[in-house]
Each structure stands twice: as C-alpha cells, then as structure tokens.
C-alpha cells in the first residue's frame, strides 16, 4: 500500500515496503541524495532530516512512520541556500570533505528553530550526535552562532518599518520547514 507524506512541501506517495528506512526511500527511490548514509545505526547523524520539524535519523526510521507527516531534507531546507544556517556555513567555509555536512546543517537548523540564541553548551548538546571525521566542530559551532545573528538581524528588519529592504534571501525564517526549489547545501560524495 502506498505511503503518503509531505516531502519538501509537496505531496509524496511511495509504494515500498513499509519497513524500508526513510533514508533508503529518499536516496534510492526518490533520488534525493543530499541526505547521506554513514553508519545506518543512528550513530553518526549523516542521515539527519526533519520530520515535523524534529531532527531525525532517517536511517533507522521506517518509512511507514512518516505517513501523514512533513519531511524536510537538505534539498528542501530553503530556496537558493537562503536559510541562515546555509548562509553561515558558506560564509565560514565550514565543510571539509562535506560528507557529514547535510546532516550537520539539518541538526543545526532544527536547533535554531527551537533556540534562537543557543549557548555553546546547548550547541554542543544538540550537535553531539553528528559526527565529523574531518573535525570541523569548531567551525560548526561558530557558524551556528553566526546563523543566530543573521536570523536576529533579519527578524529586526522585519519588525522595523524603516528597514523593510532586505538582503536577498535574508528573510528565510529558521522556523520554516517550507521548501522551495532544490537547494542542496552540502557537498560530499553521493
Ligand atoms: S547513517 Fe543514520 S545516523 Fe549514521
Ligand atoms: S566535513 Fe568531512 S566528515 Fe565532516
């Protein structure tokens, strides 16, 4: 029986084994390869997506669990890499090999949707399940704080009538899981 859910803002239906991991469905059935396979055991975070806004390991999530829910992948995080986390990642040149980075970005975006100005301890706690073999942790932390600044600045512009003109893409709300065009933000081999 087909499983229906919302994927990056669009209705999606897949006719697969209900126990198939969501990651397999995304990558192999739907050809969305921005979400990576690392361990397959919920240990590395490379496969992180949002399910109803929660950062979730898609490698251990049966696709049946997302029926009727909203799934967001790195491809749907924003239009044109306009999410503050993506912009901060680019500004601070965070990735090294890139393989872990879509998962890192999705975890960071979920964190900032809940905590607009997280402390270092909150960042470390939220990101502790995302492993980076290249050791980019310091830049990841800096980029999360930078994204929080960008978001605060954008929010200030929104509420200030004399500052209605925004930089391109600066309006992307970190609470938004609405997708847009394909915006794959991370590198790394498929
Ligand atoms: S591949 Fe899912 S946590 Fe490692
Ligand atoms: S950038 Fe290489 S594993 Fe994280």
Residue 189: inside a domain, yes or no? no
Residue 178 lies in domain: 84-183
Sorting pLDDT into bands at 50, 70 and 90, what band is 175?
very low
CATH number, domain containing residue 24:
3.10.20.30
Q: What is the side-by-side order of every strand in the sheet holding 48-51?
A: 10-14, 3-7, 70-72, 48-51, 54-57
Residue 159: inside a domain, yes or no? yes
- Mean pLDDT (the chain) is 88
CATH number, domain containing residue 134:
1.10.150.120
Is the CB of 137 inside a 6 Å radius of any atom of ligand 1? no
User: Which tens digit of pLDDT belongs to each residue from 39-55?
Assistant: 999 999 999 999 999 99
User: Which tens digit of pLDDT belongs to each residue from 68-119?
Assistant: 999 999 999 999 999 999 999 999 999 999 999 999 999 999 999 999 999 9
Same domain, 175 and 134: yes
Same domain, 66 and 93: no
- Return the pLDDT at 172: 38
The residue whose CA is least distant from atom 4 of ligand 2 is 132
Distance 78 CA to ligand 1 centre (A): 23
- Return the pLDDT at 168: 38
Describe the crossing of helices 101-114 and 84-91 by its angle, rounded to 10 degrees. 130
How many structural domains are present in the chain? 2
- If one compares 160 and 46, the residue with the highest pLDDT of the two is 46
The whole-model pTM stands at: 0.86
Provide residues with CB under 6 Å of ligand 2: 95-101, 132-134, 136
Residue 188: inside a domain, yes or no? no
Describe the crossing of helices 137-159 and 120-127 by its angle, rounded to 10 degrees. 120
């Amino acid at each position: 029986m087909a499983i229906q859910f919302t994927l990056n803002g669009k209705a999606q239906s897949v006719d697969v084994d209900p126990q198939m991991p969501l990651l397999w469905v995304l990558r192999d059935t739907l050809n969305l390869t921005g979400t990576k396979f690392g361990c397959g055991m919920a240990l590395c975070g490379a496969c992180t997506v949002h399910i109803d806004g929660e950062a979730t390991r898609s490698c251990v999530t049966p696709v049946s669990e997302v029926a009727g829910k909203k799934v967001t992948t790195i491809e749907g995080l924003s239009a044109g890499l306009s999410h503050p986390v993506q912009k901060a990642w680019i500004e601070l040149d965070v990735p090294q090999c890139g393989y872990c980075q879509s998962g890192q970005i999705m975890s960071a975006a979920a964190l900032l949707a809940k905590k607009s100005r997280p402390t270092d301890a909150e960042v470390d706690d939220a990101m502790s399940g995302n492993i980076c073999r290249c050791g980019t942790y310091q830049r990841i932390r800096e980029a999360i704080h930078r994204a929080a600044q960008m978001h605060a600045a954008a929010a200030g512009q929104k509420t200030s009538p004399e500052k209605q003109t925004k930089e391109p893409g600066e309006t992307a709300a970190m609470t938004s899981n609405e997708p847009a065009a394909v915006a794959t933000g991370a590198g790394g081999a498929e």
